[in-house]
Amino acid sequence: MLKGTIKSLTVAAILATGAISAQAADFTIRATANSNENDEDYDGLIVFKNYVESASNGAIEVELFIGTQLCSKGAECLQGVADGSIDVYISTSGGAAGIFPYVQVLDLPYLMADDRVAEHVLSGEFTRTVRKMALENSGDKIRLMTIGNTGGWRNFANTKRRVQSPSDMDGLKIRTVVADLPQELVRALGASPTPIPWPELFTSFQTGVVEGSKNGITDIMGMKFPDAGLQYVTLDGHAYMGALWWMSNDKFMSLPNDMRTIVVDGFAQLQQATFASPKRKSIQAYADFVAGGGDLYVPTPEEKAAFKSAAAPVYDWFKANVDGGEEVFDALTSAVAAAEAELNSGRASDIN
C-alpha cells in the first residue's frame, strides 16, 4: 500500500513538473558561464535553475548558455550584464578586474586559512560590501549576487623541483595572467612571472617557456598538465578560487519582491553547491596526480608562515595601487578575523 502511494505521488510530481514547465513563464533569466558541463560553475547553475523554477512555481524560467554562445571574455560578458543582454554571468576575480579592480582582493595570498573560514566570510557582510562598491562603480547596472568557488584553492605547481620554502621558488618561471597582482606575488616569492594565455600553457610547459603555475588540482588534471611535465605540487593554498556571480541590476530590480527573494535564495543554493563541488572533485584529481608519479607536498605550519611572510609586501602594494584596494582589504581582513573568532569559539565548545 505504502509503495503504491509513493509511486502515485512520484507520478503526480512528474506530472506537476510537466505542467509547470508547459506554462509560459512570467520572467526569464538568461545565465551564462564560459566553462563546460564538468565544471563547478555548471553544477551551481543547475542547482540555481532547479531551485528558482521550482520555488517560483514556474513563474521564472532560467535559460542556461554554457560556453561562449553569449560572450567569451570577462569585460565583454560584464558589458552584456550592464546593457541587459545577459542576466547572470560568473567570473573569476581576474575576469572582472578590468572593471572592478578591487575584486582582486580574493587573489591576495594567505588571508583565508581554510574552507570553513572562506565560506563563512563569503556568506556574510564582506560580499555585501563588494556588492555596494560594484553597484556604485557600474552606475547601478551590475549587481554582485554571491561569491562561490571555482576549482578549490590555488597552489604552486612546477616541472622542476619540490617547493617547501620561498627560497625554492627562486628563478622559477611561473605562469600568471596578464594582471599586476599575481605578477607582484610571484616576484615577492623570488620567482619570475611569465604571462601566458591559458590555451598555450600545456605547450609552454613542454617547451620550458614556463616552469610552473598557480592553479587548483582539478584544473591541473583536467588540462593534463602532468603529461607536459608538471610533476610537483605544493599545497600552500595561497588563494581561494572565488567565483563572482553577477546579475543585471535592472533585471533583478524589475522583479517583484517575492521573486527577488526566490532569486536571492537561489544564489544561496548555488553558492553552497559550488562550495561543495570542488571538494568532491579534488579527491580523485589528487589521487590521479599521485598515481601518475606526481609529488604532492603539504607544507608544515612553519613553512606556510614563511610563505605568508615573504608575500606580505603584496598587501601594501594592493592597498596603494588598486582603486578601492584599502577599503576592500580592510573589509576582507575584518571579516576573516570575525570568522576565525566565531569558528574557534564553536570548535572549543564542540571538542569539550
Contacts of 25 (CB under 8 A, 6+ apart): 58, 59, 60, 61
Q: What is the pLDDT of residue 198?
A: 86
What separation in angstroms does the CA of 166 have from each of 157, 159, 193, 296? 13, 16, 15, 17
Instruction: State how far the alpha carbon of 316 is from the alpha carbons of 146, 185, 218, 264, 311, in Å.
Output: 27, 12, 31, 35, 10
In this predicted structure, the answer to whether residue 7 has a pLDDT above a threshold of 70 is: no
- As a whole number of angstroms, the distance between CA 204 and CA 200 comes to 6
Quick check: helix, strand or coil at residue 179? Answer: coil
Cα separation, 100 vs 139, in Å, equals: 12
pLDDT tens per residue, range 298-317:
999 999 999 999 999 999 99
Q: Which of 45-49, 66-70, 140-144 has the lowest mean pLDDT?
A: 66-70
CA distance 233 to 156: 6
Q: What band does 22 get if pLDDT is binned at 50, 70 and 90?
A: low
Yes or no: say if 26 and 83 are a contact pair by the CB < 8 Å rule.
no
Instruction: Read off the DSSP letter of residue 317.
Output: H
Asked if residue 124 has pLDDT above 90, the reply is yes
Please give the backbone phi and psi of residue 38, each rounded to the nearest 5 degrees, phi first: -95, 0
Q: In order of start, what are the domains of the chain with their CATH numbers? A: 9-350 (3.40.190.170)
CA 52 to chain centre: 21
| Each residue's pLDDT tens digit, 59-82 | 999 999 999 999 988 899 999 999
Give the pLDDT confidence of 184-222 residue by residue, as tens digits: 999 999 999 999 888 899 999 999 999 999 999 999 999
pLDDT of 108 strictly over 70: yes
When pLDDT is cut at 50, 70 and 90, the band that residue 230 belongs to is: very high
| Partners of residue 61 on adjacent β-strands | 28
Q: What does residue 332 show for φ and ψ, rounded to 5 degrees? A: -70, -50
Residue 331 grid cell: 573589509
What's 4-46 look like in SS3?
Answer: HHHHHHHHHHHHHHHHHHHCCCCEEEEEEECCCCCCHHHHHHH
